[in-house]
Amino acid sequence: MSQILSKTDIEKEKLKILNKTELDEVDHAFDVNALRVLAARYLLRDSNNEIVESPKQMFERIAVLVAISDILHDERVFDISGAYVDYDQVGLDKDWIEPLDRSLTIGNYRLNIYHEEALWRLYKELKGSMKVSRNSLYHMIAKGEFDEYEMRIKEYYDLMISKDFLPNTPTLMNAGAKLGQLSACFVLPIEDDLHEIMKTATDAAMIFKSGGGIGINYSKLRPEGSIVASTSGVASGPLSFMKIIDAVTEVVKQGGKRRGANMAILNWDHPDIERFITAKTTPGEYENFNISVGTNEGFWEKGNENMLDMIARCAWQSAEPGVIFFDNINKFNPLLDKKGEITCTNPCGEQALYPYESCNLGSINLANFVKDGEFDWERFVDVIRICVQFLDNVIDVNKYPIKEIEEETKKTRRIGLGIMGLADVMFKLGIQYNSETGYEFMEDLGRILHINTRVESYELSRTRGKYPLSKNEEHPQRNSFLTTIAPTGTLSMIAGVSNGVEPCFALSFEKRVTVGSFFYVNQIFEQRLKDAGIYSEELIKKVVNNYGSCKGIAEIPGDIQKTFVTAMDIHYTDHIMAQSVWQKHIDNAIAKTINMPNDSTVEDVKQAYLMAHELGCKGMTVYRDGSRHQQVLHIHSDTKEKKFKVEPSTYVKSMRCNNCGSQLTTQEGCKYCPACGNSMCSN
């Protein structure tokens, strides 16, 4: 989205945001909104809270840190056999490292103290695989023997400043900086013991401080009102202990920049499940939590219509709880034999993790791969391969907040490469999101992502080793899991594209401030209207009043209406279809919001859960417009007038139901059509 400013105004605003007197090429490459985000959250500041680095310097410190793993896996100093003498005679000593600050360079890139700390920390970890002593390695770097890695650093740097790829927020925030914690997703255990509960709260605080978010499954805690044998007292139940984590979240900001995020999960068969399901229907309760009901085969086999009705009613009212489908998550879990079932996810539900496991994420910007009106598949493959190496390196140079997290993460070496800008690339290519062509394009993208992440992980395993919990596979992987689609909210703002796999939320909306009203318009849509010779402020106002949609506006040609669909134009069955198409090729899960108009029913929400589970999704969250107590963005003005009706696409209607053709789900053992209510069972 863009607000119309003159070139001079834009330059002045950028200088003000960055506290600079002159802009460089990176400052010019990012728009005003992106620089505001970078300045607010990521650029380093001094003790007076003044910005002390530019975006260019930020991306350089990240690229240098990530390349350290490549240097230490160079065949001149590393051997996968691990058969070398353990050269780690001296532990990491602050007095030894500090005098080296900024004394080492890789080509034109200088290592700061935090880069050097990561270098020697990784050296120590690799132990017997190092062919040379620490002093020898230092002198090799000092003499310029690794200066060819300047090109690798530049490759990582270019990957980010081109906006082809961005790593998750903690990496942008902390790479090459004091905190050094680079992962976004964590899961913590919580046991039915007060000492263990308080340890979890302490661990959560450390994770929030370092920039991460956590998920906890509270199902091991005894229900409210049960007797505590050791004290003869009465247990207060899972929700009371959620309040402890809620309080910790409130006071400990992530990396000193923002409040932490939580996922609370309670399994469907816990005695306190009804209180949990309704926990967020009261405004102000558990505001630092997303909550989800954990389900498995037992839930779906028994039907559990009454509980599903309650979940649907609460989600209709307040957009929560979500539902996590642990049966679908564990169906293709390569760690099932070694570690058992996964029972928890990160705050947005796209990353299922074991206790103390973490994952670092990153997203490829699909909008950057359109060349001469075609999608550049060859360059997409090249970028996938380098992104896998980037994210795998992050595991090595990460500074973990808790020892248990480092141990568990390195056993599985899980990464989560995903995408953003899907809506933008489809706009550019003239592909309708909710159409057969649209789903085929998503399928192709997912398949290419899936194949090439695995190829690269295999190649890395040959030279660096497979993940420790790997089975004796014929084609071993460096990483247990490779792909995830995150919400990419902040990353999308930096890249200036749509988030994750979501359709465009609104083509245009009105923002009111004290000095007046401004219209923000999707740039691709704006250009298309100009090319058609129909762009005007009056027309944009009509789009704003139409819930940010161009659908049903007579002045806008049919081909534009067909291509430029928004989240509110798309029927919930098509939202689910899109999620399920991607899920076929994503080995973790997908952060996807199933948008519904305000007039959707509780039954619509219920059928959405059934359909998502049936189609193999790993979890689902619905959002009915207006259901939140506070809504961040309003996509209509006071004079709104909806000019369109939302119906399932022709593609969804063509699948199987003998009445309307929509996708069937299973309800109480019967095939049921969520679109028209047709039951496949005889009465």
Residue 670 has a pLDDT of 59
| Residue 38, C-beta contacts closer than 8 angstroms, at least 6 positions apart | 30, 55, 58, 494
pLDDT tens digits, one per residue of 287-328: 899 999 999 999 998 778 899 999 999 999 999 999 999 999
Q: How confident is the model at residue 90 (pLDDT cuts 50, 70, 90)?
A: very low
Does the pLDDT of residue 88 top 60, yes or no?
A: no
Query: At 256, is the pLDDT very low, low, confident or very high (cuts 50, 70, 90)?
Result: low
User: For 584-593, how does the pLDDT look when each residue is reduced to its tens digit (9 = 90+)?
Assistant: 999 999 999 9
Per the prediction, the chain carries an average pLDDT of 90
Question: In this predicted model, which residue has the larger pLDDT, 630 or 112?
Answer: 112
Which letter does DSSP use for residue 366 in this model? Answer: G
Residue 16: closest CA among 30, 36, 41:
36
pLDDT score at 93: 54
Work out the percent of the chain whose per-residue pLDDT is above 70.
87
**Catalytic residue flag (residue 673):** no
pLDDT value at 170 more than 70: yes
Residue range 453-469: average pLDDT? 96
Most confident of 245-259, 271-285, 395-409: 395-409
- Mean predicted confidence (pLDDT) in 81-96: 60
Residue range 323-342: mean pLDDT, rounded: 96
Mean pLDDT value of segment 92-112: 75
Residue 220: pLDDT band (50, 70, 90) is very high
* Interacting residues of 39 by C-beta distance below 8 A, sequence separation 6+: 17, 18, 51
Is 537 an active-site residue?
A: no
Catalytic residue among 350, 510, 526, 614: 350
Number of neighbouring beta carbons within 10 Å of residue 2 = 14
Residue range 378-407: average pLDDT?
A: 97
Q: What pLDDT was estimated at residue 655?
A: 77
Query: Chain centroid to CA 478: how far?
Result: 21
Per-residue pLDDT, averaged over 511-530, amounts to 78
Q: Exactly one of 262, 328, 333, 346 is catalytic; which is it?
A: 346
> Who's near 262: CB < 8 A, 6+ residues apart?
204, 213, 214, 215, 216, 245, 246, 249, 288, 289, 290, 347
Largest CA distance in the chain: 83
pLDDT at 632: 45
State in Å, rounded, how far the first CA of the chain is from the last one: 52
Distances in Å between the Cα of 351 and the Cα atoms of 442, 549, 571 are 20, 32, 26
Whether the pLDDT of residue 475 is over 90: the answer is no
185-217: burial string, b at 16+ Cβ within 10 Å, e else: bbbbbbebeeeebebbbebbbbbbbbbbbbbbb
Among 109-118, 163-172, 198-207, 619-628, which is the least confidently predicted range?
619-628
Does the CA dihedral 408-297-240-346 come out positive or negative?
positive
Q: Are strands 109-110 and 105-106 parallel, antiparallel or unpaired?
A: antiparallel
2 pLDDT tier (thresholds 50, 70, 90): very low
Residue 217: enclosing H or E segment and its boundaries? strand 213-217
Encoded tokens for 66: 């990530």
Q: What is the pLDDT of residue 98?
A: 58
Residue 604's pLDDT band, with cuts at 50, 70 and 90, is: very high
pLDDT digits (tens, 9 = 90+) for 117-149: 999 999 999 988 999 988 899 999 999 999 999
pLDDT at 231: 67
Q: What is the average per-residue pLDDT within 654-664?
A: 67
pLDDT more than 90, % of the chain: 75
Least confident of 432-436, 570-574, 650-654: 650-654
Least confident of 263-267, 352-356, 607-611: 607-611
pLDDT for residue 514 is more than 90: no
8 A C-beta contact, residue 497 and residue 367: yes
Query: Is there a catalytic annotation at residue 60?
Result: no
Query: Which pLDDT band holds residue 5 (cuts at 50, 70, 90)?
Result: low
pLDDT value for 385: 98
The SS3 assignment for 266 reads strand
pLDDT value, residue 667? 61
Q: Say which of 314, 344, 348, 617 is annotated catalytic.
A: 348
